[in-house]
Structure 1
Amino acid sequence: MNVSNPALPDSIPQPILASADSLVTKTAFLAGLIAPETAACLSRQLKVSDAEYSRIIDGHNTVPEVLEDATNLASRQSSLGEITELRRRLITALAQHYHLIQNQPLSDGNGAMARLVVHMHFAQIGLHPHLWSLPRGVARRREEYHAALGLTGGTQGRQPSGGFQRTGTALLSFIAFMLDVCHEEVDYMTAALNRRKLRESITNAFNTNSRLTEAGIRGEIAPAFLALLIQGALPRSEFNTFTGLQSEAASNQVGRLINIDLVVSPPSDLLTLEIALPDWFVRELLPDLHEIW
């Protein structure tokens, strides 16, 4: 499979250029909302979910070897560095996805491979794709996605319609659609991770989630946990102060949080607490993450 630079139309409509510019700004804002430790936790959960989204999009599971090949392919043959304008690099990455599917439409795994190549290009561009899920957005709008690619029957394993039209109009329509999907997913994550919403979600979880209540974790330490989530890591002493509890009670609550894997204390620095965010708690922060319409 070749990931050489696809030819773009001579004239790209202004709305597409504006959408690309806006996406760069939005993803930078999203990345600024959370600490690197918290971002790493969320990224791991999104990566696990993306495999299920790809199954929904393509109608079959993609074997890990295919995705490994895609990673190696994109690393070796990425050509976006030849383009200096950021928004055109973004648009080229989406055009590349279109051409990968058009050129190799019937092989199992090509869809997931093409989306992974785009993910890697987005990372190179600086769109922080580990903080939002393109596969989730595509899965929610998979019929439109297949139509934009000229596919019928809902999977890439079926026959294409119309002989795979490669006109500039079809390519631009696909790029505009994919940009819209990207905006939707970035907006979803941004809304969920803003400070007010995080406070609401964490307060509700600490008062109602059965794992927390059964573990004996008190609702009043929710503000301390919010501070830890926002900053990614805190000294134990500072976290204890945030709880507003006496020293022994605060330490007891920290131990309970560690026992349910909500926070961790690195062996290399037992005086520090770091955020952990297991899957069950991520669902509290992102309740619609697995909802596919």
Structure 2
Amino acid sequence: MKSISSMEPLFPTDSQAQLADLVVELTSCASHLAGKIPVRVQDGVGDLVRSMNCYYSNLIEGHNTKPRDIERAMEEDYSSNVQRRTLQKEARAHIEVQQMIDSGQDLNADPASYEYIRWIHKEFCRRLPDDLLWVENPDTGESIEVIPGQFRDCDVIVGRHIPIPANELEKFMEKFHSVYARDRVPKSQYPIAIAAAHHRLLWIHPFADGNGRVARLVSHAMLLRSGVRSSLWSISRGLARTSGQYKTVLAGADAARKGDLDGRGALSASGLFEFVQYFLQTCINQVRFMESILQPEELLRRITLYANDEIDANRLSGGALALLKEAYLTGELARGDAAQLTGYQERRGRQILAELIQKGLLVSQGPRAPVRLGFPIDVVERWLPG
């Protein structure tokens, strides 16, 4: 029987002031980012960030699904190539689950609870093609079925790490929840808890497959509840772009204690500190990256340059720029205002509006609803380079 103490320490014990400074910096810059973008434009950015999270989270797992294939999957336009179609469906599953989290349609439970974590796994895996629901035991060659939402029923080895025995998973997941639940952690320390929880969930490795993506979606849900608005930036982008360091610090936090100066738990206190520090700094870097490309004046300048180029090339109608500017500056515009804004007659104004909607440059919740700025793949490199 494995003791709960084998998972300790559950919080970093050293350099608390240094981590507290990172929390203050993250909270401040995330608040600043959210405050500079019109609320309805944030919805468009959120749609883009969901695709970014999906792309980079899958990339960490070695699945390189192209952004255009992801966009097509969301429109149910699947490739005739079996492998590409499988990856498209995997990407769509990830985006749909995150969309439920972002819109408050997720399970009404704390993200650190094993009920919530199983819910994420269930919702993700039940959307996957059958061939992605089988994994091979590397020792025996046996095929193991991945049951959506169910903890694994066999013991596993992950690289050099031997996770918790299957028959003790619920005990460890209950402890995990009792430590990292939102109402158990002071608000000022919650981002630290999110970072530590990310590692310890991967250390427990509760599922036969899908643990990495589930852990990143759980971190996303926890970050949303922390007040740093992670719908505007992608932690997975930062983890993927530093994947070597990500894997190194994960392994470092897996390590056993290195003597009397490395904490009092079974696991390395310095390893956990280094992972938490890396995770928080990665969050800050991603917020600052999005802040740099979403500078209001610069973004409007790039939208204007793009629209003028497209109008000159006869790929957009004259008057389109006025609608794009209005959608950006005010957050949304009523369909009936299109003619006045473009300076054309009613019918022509509606045609230009329809053209922008067809291209995904403007989007709405329905045929009569107001429209807001969209961020289709075709324009992302022009509007949001990097």
Instruction: Name the TM-score class by shorter chain.
Output: 0.7 to 0.9
Give the gaps of 5 or more residues in structure 1: 152-159, 289-293
1:123 shift after superposition: 0.7
Does residue 41 of structure 2 align to residue 38 of structure 1?
A: yes
1:174 counterpart (257, 275, 300) = 275
Does residue 384 of structure 2 align to residue 286 of structure 1?
A: yes
Does residue 201 of structure 2 align to residue 201 of structure 1?
A: no
Cα distance in 1, alignment partners of residues 182 and 287 from structure 2: 24
* Root-mean-square deviation over aligned CA pairs: 3.6
Q: Do the aligned partners of 1:191 and 1:197 also contact (CA within 8 Å) in 2?
A: no
Q: Do the aligned partners of 2:257 and 2:268 also contact (CA within 8 Å) in 1?
A: no
Cα distance in 2, alignment partners of residues 239 and 6 from structure 1: 59
Cα 1:46–1:221, aligned 2, differ >3 Å: closer, same or farther? same
Cα distance in 2, alignment partners of residues 106 and 237 from structure 1: 51
* Structure 2 counterpart of 1:154: none
Does residue 373 of structure 2 align to residue 275 of structure 1?
A: yes
1:223-242 matched pairs, under 5 angstroms: 224-236=323-335, 238=337, 240-242=339-341
2:355 counterpart (253, 256, 259) = 256
Q: Do the aligned partners of 1:80 and 1:93 also contact (CA within 8 Å) in 2?
A: no
* Structure 2 counterpart of 1:26: 29
1:287 shift after superposition: 2.3
1:1-293 matched pairs, under 5 angstroms: 7-60=10-63, 64=93, 74=111, 76-77=113-114, 79-83=180-184, 85-104=186-205, 107-150=208-251, 166-209=267-310, 213-218=313-318, 221-222=320-321, 224-236=323-335, 238=337, 240-243=339-342, 245-247=343-345, 250-264=349-363, 267=366, 269=368, 272-288=370-386
1:181 shift after superposition: 0.9
Task: Compare CA radii of gyration and give the structure with the larger one.
Answer: 2
Cα 1:122–1:267, aligned 2, differ >3 Å: closer, same or farther? closer
Cα distance in 2, alignment partners of residues 259 and 51 from structure 1: 24
Q: Deviations over 1:234-280 (max 9, x none)?
A: 2346555554x34456555334323323224665646x433333232
- Identical positions, percent: 23
Cα distance in 2, alignment partners of residues 103 and 233 from structure 1: 45
Cα distance in 1, alignment partners of residues 257 and 315 from structure 2: 57
* Structure 1 counterpart of 2:79: none
Aligned residues: 272
Q: TM-score, normalised by structure 1?
A: 0.77
Q: Do the aligned partners of 1:34 and 1:231 also contact (CA within 8 Å) in 2?
A: no
Letter in 1 for 2:269: G
Cα 1:241–1:195, aligned 2, differ >3 Å: closer, same or farther? farther
Cα distance in 2, alignment partners of residues 5 and 117 from structure 1: 20
Q: Do the aligned partners of 2:363 and 2:372 also contact (CA within 8 Å) in 1?
A: yes
Q: Do the aligned partners of 2:361 and 2:373 also contact (CA within 8 Å) in 1?
A: yes
